[in-house]
Amino acid sequence: MPSLQDLRRYLLSQHSFSSLRMTLGIVLPASLLIFGFGMSLTGLACSVGALCVALIDTQPSGLGIKLRELAVGTLAVMATASLTTLAQGQPVLLWVIVPLVSFLGAFAMVFGPRASVLGLNAVLVMILALTLHDTAPHAIAPYLGGLLTGCLGYAVISLLFAHFLQHPTHRRALGECLFNTAGYLTARSRCYDPEIPLEQCYQALLERQIAVQEAQQMVRDLLLNDLFGRNPSTLDPERVRQFNLFVDVVDLHDMVLSAQTDFETLREQFDGNDSLIFLRDLLEKNAHEVERIAEAVVLNRPLRPYHNTRAELTALAFELSAASASGLEAQNPAAFLALKTSLDRAEQVKRMVDKLHADLLSTSNTTPLRMSAVVSRFRPRHTLWQRPKRWLAGQALRYALRFTLAMSVALAVTRSFPDDHGNWILLTVMVALRPGFGQSRERGMLRIKGTLAGCAAAVLFLMAAPSVIAQFALMLAALLVSLSLMQRNYLVSVFFTSIEVVLFYHLLVPADWHLAYTRLLDTGIGAVIALGAAYLFPFWENRLIRPQLAALLASFRDYFSATGALTPDGELDYRLARRETLLALGTLSATHARMMLEPESRRMLPGDTRRLLLISQQLASETAALAHWLKQSEAHREAALDALGRADRLLALTEVPVLDNEPQAPLCSPIADPAVANLPHTAYSVMRVARRIRYPQTFDVTR
């Protein structure tokens, strides 16, 4: 059950801000035409055009990038709508255009996610234009005019937001990054709770880590593109402050990531001891403080530290002294070292949180990194069309063929309906049929459930006979929530979308009570078609596991190389390699999650893949720990380089099948930090599981 704190985070998030921008861009021009000038058809077309362009503009971006995206989106909307409306009344031409647009729109996924959104938007425009099949020819021009007005009206409003509300947009993205980092800190604190299984803790850490990476990428998209080409010495204080805070939060995540600890040994040795409670409370307090900083960043207000961790740090120092006095260092050196390392990392996290507080007021660059170098190396290069990936071409082709056949069947069923609402079948097929089988099945069921609940809620609301103002207000609220939750909670988004559509049509045709029931019937038919089409030319997610596994191992080797060459001049190379490894880990994790939605017979060694993800997360953490350790001391650089070299050679052997009884060679000499000492062992574990996945016939996979 969502709490008030969750609601507050949502209101402060980038999603709520983006959905507000999209709602205003969709509603304002259309409302002016419908209620101001009484132009219902043109106003409806205006809202359609604005919606189609808004769906391309779901992610915040810089002014120049947004202008290009909106221009291309407007051209695509108008071209598709013009082509479809010209084919009205010509069945042969229509049966050429619908399959052609459907195929090209689905196949666009091979050129990247932005191209995929653009392609499916073209399909959406085509579906909505099909509602004009019974419209008089003289009404087509007002429809296209309204469509263009909606596209341009939304573009103007969105560009005004991007220009005049640039800093609030950046602050919300930065706040979301801080909120997700606080969640990662909280997940890490759970590792010190013996009541929670360690594997559950590691899984939560992996999920939180992926969320942190996505939030960091959003800030890079906005902040670094905004800083590109600017002279760092002439920047206004707000931009400098945002840069400092972003570097701080990335460093904080890196610090927590590098805090690799032998939690199992720590739990066994100190179970029932207050040390684990103090460590857990320390991280939780720091997480709450980071959340307070996130709110202060979004609201642009000063903040004073609230949570004091001096008592926990003093108590832990006492516990460490007591453990040393009792001879624990000699009896169980691993447990003693784990406690000492945890205390050291907790103190470092506290110092970094203090720096976040200080940088809320900073007006000059407080980081050791040159701003221009960071911008040039980490600034994302935005393109609507990416170079096609070879491993994605097969999936895109199968999806395009499946999608085209499903849309053709839906069109035939739609044309057999005597009313104007059959196009909801096409819309349901478009949103429910996904590239993967498991996603299509899940989306189809969620679509039915959300539509059923949303239509029922809308009918109950209308039966209460509220005023037109109340209906319009609820429609706007439903649109706002549905847009904001479109990527986060599909079921709830469909629920509010159904309410919005029913109320919208009711405002246009007040007596049209049968609309809700028609929506339910159309949704059911569309979902059945989509679920049936999912079995045609299926592309199972297990086909992506091996190429993505190879990419992950290659990224680890680059990460090892950058870590071994870590110097003040090589800091950016290290950060770039770390980011690429975490992104590769997130990509493989997403594929595994989609694979688990598919039939059990189509899952390729799901247990091994999940274990690989958890061990890979540990390997990334240990590599970060080694890098942090190298920054602190040069005393054992040779031993550290030896550990990195051995780990790299182990991952390089993945092309050679190895038997399970192969002896494990000595890995590296002892080093003070347990993460450094364990690095080759963890790499060996990753290599073993990777081989089981790449060459399952070599092993007894039932083990």
Asked if residue 458 lies in contact with residue 466, where contact means CB atoms within 8 angstroms, the answer is no
DSSP per-residue string spanning 461-522: HHHT---HHHHHHHHHHHHHHHHHTTTT-HHHHHHHHHHHHHHHHHHHSTT-TTHHHHHHHH
Tracing tokens 């805070």 back to the chain, one arrives at 245
What is the pLDDT, as a whole number, of residue 135? 55
Tokens encoding 673: 């930090």
Sequence-distant (≥ 6) Cβ neighbours of residue 204 within 8 angstroms: 187, 190
> Residue 344 and residue 415: Cα distance in Å, rounded?
70
Structure confidence by residue, pLDDT tens digits, 162-202: 888 888 888 999 999 999 999 999 998 888 888 888 888 88
What is the pLDDT, as a whole number, of residue 132? 64
What is the pLDDT, as a whole number, of residue 669? 37
Sequence-distant (≥ 6) Cβ neighbours of residue 19 within 8 angstroms: 480, 481, 483, 484
Asked if residue 167 lies in contact with residue 120, where contact means CB atoms within 8 angstroms, the answer is no
Asked if residue 240 lies in contact with residue 365, where contact means CB atoms within 8 angstroms, the answer is yes
Inter-CA distances, 382 with 61, 128, 232, 386, 580, Å: 10, 29, 22, 9, 17
> Residue 164 and residue 169: Cα distance in Å, rounded?
10
Query: Other CB atoms closer than 10 Å to residue 411's CB: what's the count?
Result: 22
SS3 track for 631-648: HHCCCCHHHHHHHHHHHH
Asked if residue 81 lies in contact with residue 129, where contact means CB atoms within 8 angstroms, the answer is yes
What is the pLDDT, as a whole number, of residue 181? 92
Asked if residue 589 lies in contact with residue 210, where contact means CB atoms within 8 angstroms, the answer is yes
CA nearest to 694, candidates 604, 587, 594, 595: 604
Query: Other CB atoms closer than 10 Å to residue 75's CB: what's the count?
Result: 11
Inter-CA distances, 398 with 99, 107, 427, 544, Å: 14, 9, 20, 14
Phi, psi of 312 (to 5 degrees): -65, -40
Asked if residue 675 lies in contact with residue 632, where contact means CB atoms within 8 angstroms, the answer is no
Asked if residue 47 lies in contact with residue 27, where contact means CB atoms within 8 angstroms, the answer is yes
Asked if residue 679 lies in contact with residue 626, where contact means CB atoms within 8 angstroms, the answer is yes
**Widest pairwise Cα distance in the chain:** 93
Amino acid making up residue 562: A
What is the H or E stretch that residue 28 is in?
A: helix 14-31
Amino acid making up residue 103: F
Mark out the alpha helices in 32-139 (DSSP H runs).
Answer: 37, 40-56, 63-86, 91-107, 113-129
DSSP per-residue string spanning 356-401: HHHHTS--S--SSS-HHHHHHHH-----SSPPPPHHHHHHHHHHHH
CA nearest to 349, candidates 184, 212, 196, 239: 184
Asked if residue 252 lies in contact with residue 352, where contact means CB atoms within 8 angstroms, the answer is yes
Asked if residue 682 lies in contact with residue 618, where contact means CB atoms within 8 angstroms, the answer is yes
CA nearest to 342, candidates 686, 673, 41, 570: 673
DSSP per-residue string spanning 119-156: HHHHHHHHHHHGGGGGS-GGGHHHHHHHHHHHHHHHHH
What is the H or E stretch that residue 169 is in?
A: helix 166-189
> Residue 693 and residue 701: Cα distance in Å, rounded?
9
What is the pLDDT, as a whole number, of residue 381? 66
Percent helix, strand, coil in the chain (nearest 5)? 80, 0, 20
Give the sign of the dihedral formed by CA 62, CA 112, CA 100, CA 422: negative
Inter-CA distances, 340 with 238, 317, 318, 357, Å: 39, 9, 11, 26
Inter-CA distances, 686 with 423, 476, 610, 611, 681, Å: 50, 51, 11, 9, 9
Ranges of each domain in the chain:
180-213+241-364, 427-539, 542-698
> Residue 601 and residue 599: Cα distance in Å, rounded?
5
Query: Other CB atoms closer than 10 Å to residue 46's CB: what's the count?
Result: 31
Asked if residue 533 lies in contact with residue 402, where contact means CB atoms within 8 angstroms, the answer is yes
**Which regions in the chain score pLDDT beneath 70?**
1-4, 132-139, 260, 381-386, 388-392, 418-422, 465, 505, 507-516, 633-636, 653-678, 681, 694-703
CA nearest to 52, candidates 126, 109, 137, 133: 126
Tokens encoding 261: 């600890």
Q: pTM of this prediction?
A: 0.83
